[in-house]
Each structure stands twice: as structure tokens, then as C-alpha cells.
């Protein structure tokens, strides 16, 4: 009998008690559950899980709607064959639509009974098993680029790079790179980049001045290092930034 897959369970602190209850219920039915309370930890666990040959990655998201959607977009872009279940606080149509459009395969009420939760999990696992048996390979279409070129894909939410590399971007990172790559010489001033990042948020942006822009860039560089790459970005002293990699036309 094939063992149950590892379940990655994400929940922020405000649903911490429910997180433990959900994890306990799943473990009592034979699942191995790894729980975490922040997105970076979730992404790290996902990378490790993806390296397990033949393993089905199953992720439960029980954060805020914004966190769930961000995580679903990230995981769906990098691990298209994964199974993603969004645990939602209410069954409002807008919440469900956003969850599904972000990449979740299904949703379930956060306070669902054990029976409903398990039925949903097994249904998704059954779908995954049937597709694997049929040789259904899930791939995310990548826009045409040369092997050595960089390009913004999927409406700018993915940075495509050499050998089919796909790096998911946050709202601020997307706006930052869209601004750089739109310039003829691939460089822009701090002022222009800050304005673009601020304008990309519906609420007041966390990036409001040059120092915090630098923090965002540092995090973006670290994201590249996690893929074993050095980000093709150069700081133009006391002025702005320049993208130094080859860009697809």
C-alpha cells in the first residue's frame, strides 16, 4: 500500500490553536504533517519536499486570504503538480474565487469536521493518483525566450530566466522589475522605483523610502541565491538600479 504523502500545513499565529488541532486530526489518520507559521518556512519545506522522488506535495493553507493567495501563486508556479487546499474562514464567493484563481485546487471551511476535511484531502489525492497513472504531466507554459534571456511572464508575476527558470515575485518585486525592464537602458532612479512600488499596493506600501527599497532588493537578491544564482542587478551609486542580464525582446 502506498503511504500517505507528507502534508505541509501553513497557518499564521492567529489560528495557531486550530493549526494544532488540524495537524493532530491528520496525524491520527496516518498522515505525516509538517506545520509552519510563516511563508518563508513554508517555501523552504516545499523545496525540500519537491526533491523527494515520486512524492506528491500536498499543501494546506490556513493563513489570511492575502497570505493564502500569495502562497498558492508561488507554489503553483514552481510546483504545478502539487495539491493545494485552502482552508477558509468563510464561504463568501469573493474569498472562494480569489483562492481558486490564485492556484488552490479546492477549499474547505477552516472549522470543518474531520470527516469533511479528510474527504476533501482524499479526493485531491485520488485525482493526483489518477493523473500520475495516466501519465498526465503538469507543466506551466513558459513564454518563448532564448535560453540565456530574462523575461517577465504570467503578467509579470514570474521572472523567467535561463534554462526555463521561473522565479515568483511579490507585488513590490514585480513592480520594481517591470519598471527596470521597461526602460530602454534597463535602469531607473530610486525615486522612480519607489513611486512605482508604492503605486502597486492598494494600501500604503511597506516601501516608502530609499532604505526600505534597499531592504526589498536585498530580499530579492537572497531569493536568487536560493536558486543558486547571482541576481543580474547593479546598484548605480547614489542614483538607482540597473538590470544587467540579457532581456528577451
* Average pLDDT in the chain: 78
| Last-in-domain residue among 106, 133, 160 | 133
Are 233 and 224 a contacting pair, CB within 8 Å?
Answer: no
The domain that holds 67 is classified in CATH as 3.40.50.2300
pLDDT band at residue 240 using 50, 70 and 90 as cut-offs: very high
54 shares its domain with 120 = yes
Does 146 map to a domain?
Answer: no
pLDDT in tens, 59-111: 999 888 988 999 998 888 887 778 899 998 888 888 888 888 888 888 899 88
Alpha-carbon span 112 to 152, nearest angstrom: 39
50 shares its domain with 114 = yes
Residue owning grid cell 509552519: 36
Spatial CA neighbour of 138 closest among 76, 89, 86: 76
Does 83 map to a domain?
Answer: yes
Spatial CA neighbour of 180 closest among 151, 201, 153, 205: 151
187 shares its domain with 229 = yes
**C-alpha cell, 12:** 499564521
| Last-in-domain residue among 133, 159, 189 | 133
Does 223 map to a domain?
Answer: yes
Within the chain, strands assigned E span 6-10, 32-36, 58-61, 83-88, 106-109, 151-153, 158-160, 166-168, 187-189, 233-236, 240-243
The domain that holds 189 is classified in CATH as 1.10.10.10
| Last-in-domain residue among 133, 160, 194 | 133
pLDDT band at residue 18 using 50, 70 and 90 as cut-offs: low
For the chain, the first-to-last Cα distance in angstroms comes to: 51
pLDDT in tens, 162-215: 777 888 887 788 889 999 999 999 999 999 998 888 887 654 444 456 777 888
Calculate mean pLDDT across residues 138-164. 66
27 shares its domain with 93 = yes
Higher pLDDT, 30 or 235: 235
pLDDT band at residue 128 using 50, 70 and 90 as cut-offs: very low
Spatial CA neighbour of 117 closest among 15, 31, 56: 31
Alpha-carbon span 69 to 193, nearest angstrom: 25
Q: How many domains does the chain have?
A: 2
63 shares its domain with 113 = yes
Does 199 map to a domain?
Answer: yes
Three-state DSSP at 114 gives: helix
Question: Does the structure show a pLDDT above 70 at 137?
Answer: no
Calculate mean pLDDT across residues 20-37. 82
SS3 breakdown of the chain: % helix, strand, coil, rounded to 5? 45, 20, 35
Per the structure, the complete domain to which residue 86 belongs is given by 6-133
10 shares its domain with 129 = yes
12 shares its domain with 129 = yes
83 shares its domain with 157 = no
pLDDT score at 122: 83
Amino acid at each position: 500500500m502506498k503511504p500517505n504523502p507528507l502534508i505541509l500545513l501553513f497557518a499564521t499565529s492567529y489560528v495557531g490553536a486550530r493549526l494544532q488541532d488540524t495537524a493532530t486530526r491528520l496525524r491520527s489518520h496516518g498522515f505525516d504533517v509538517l506545520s509552519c507559521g510563516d511563508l518563508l518556512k513554508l517555501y523552504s519545506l516545499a523545496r525540500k519536499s519537491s526533491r523527494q522522488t515520486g512524492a506528491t506535495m500536498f499543501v494546506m493553507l490556513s493563513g489570511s486570504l492575502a497570505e493564502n493567495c500569495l502562497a498558492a501563486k508561488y507554489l503553483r508556479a514552481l510546483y504545478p503538480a502539487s495539491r493545494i487546499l485552502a482552508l477558509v474562514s468563510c464561504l463568501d464567493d469573493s474569498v472562494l474565487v480569489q483562492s481558486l484563481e490564485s492556484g488552490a485546487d479546492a477549499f474547505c471551511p477552516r472549522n470543518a469536521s474531520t470527516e469533511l476535511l479528510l474527504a476533501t484531502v482524499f479526493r485531491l489525492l485520488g485525482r493526483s493518483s489518477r493523473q500520475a497513472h495516466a501519465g498526465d504531466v503538469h507543466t506551466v507554459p513558459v513564454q518563448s525566450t532564448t535560453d540565456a534571456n530574462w523575461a517577465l511572464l504570467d503578467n509579470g508575476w514570474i521572472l523567467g530566466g535561463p534554462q526555463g527558470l521561473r522565479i515568483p515575485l511579490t507585488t513590490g518585486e514585480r513592480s520594481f522589475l517591470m519598471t527596470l525592464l521597461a526602460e530602454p537602458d534597463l535602469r531607473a532612479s530610486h525615486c522612480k522605483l519607489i513611486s512605482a512600488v508604492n503605486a502597486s499596493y492598494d494600501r500604503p506600501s511597506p516601501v516608502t523610502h530609499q532604505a526600505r527599497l534597499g531592504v526589498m532588493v536585498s530580499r530579492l537578491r537572497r531569493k536568487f541565491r536560493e536558486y543558486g544564482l547571482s541576481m543580474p542587478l547593479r546598484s548605480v551609486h547614489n542614483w538607482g538600479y540597473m538590470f544587467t542580464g540579457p532581456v528577451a525582446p
